[in-house]
Amino acid sequence: MARYVTTVRTRRQAAEVFAFLSDLRHFADWDPGVRRVAQVEGVGGGAGAVFDVTVAGVPETTLRYRTVEYREPAELLVVARTRLLTSTDRTTVRSEGATTLVTYDADLRLNGLLGLGDPLLRLAFRRIGDRAAAGLRRALDGEEVRT
């Protein structure tokens, strides 16, 4: 399993941040590893929304993310499963005084016997996560919160 967690503090309102992040069509706005996103079910973010997210790689790969949990404006869980891997992304948003804290928790697992390659995946996922976290801070005009 490869896991990446980042927390960002922003002055934007929690509802605005949640709306932006729960609509995965914005993924490409902040994650440089995302090439394009197409919504295949639903309209915008919300319960039951499904998105095809194409990520960089050789070859490019499209992951179908399904919204599994949607508790506006506080928590979102989306999951993509392929024959090779499972990606689980949890976003939590909470107000803290005049600011909003956003925690993005991404978990990537290779399925079946491929799981033996998880240690190598962890190394690559750290670099991918660092770039995505920097993009998230930029998109939210935020700063990293050390935990």
The domains located in the chain, with CATH, are: 2-144 (3.30.530.20)
How do residues 91-115 score in pLDDT, each as one tens digit? 999 999 999 999 999 998 877 755 5
pLDDT of residue 50: 98
How do residues 78-90 score in pLDDT, each as one tens digit? 999 998 889 999 9
Asked whether 99 and 9 are in contact (CB, 8 A), the reply is yes
**Tokens (6 digits) for 65:** 């993310």
Answer yes or no: is pLDDT of 117 > 80: no
Quote the pTM value: 0.90
Place of tokens 């960002």: 8
Asked whether 12 and 137 are in contact (CB, 8 A), the reply is no
**DSSP reduced 3-state for 48:** coil
HSE-CB for 119 with a 13 A CA cutoff: 1
Q: Per-residue pLDDT averaged across 12-39, rounded?
A: 96
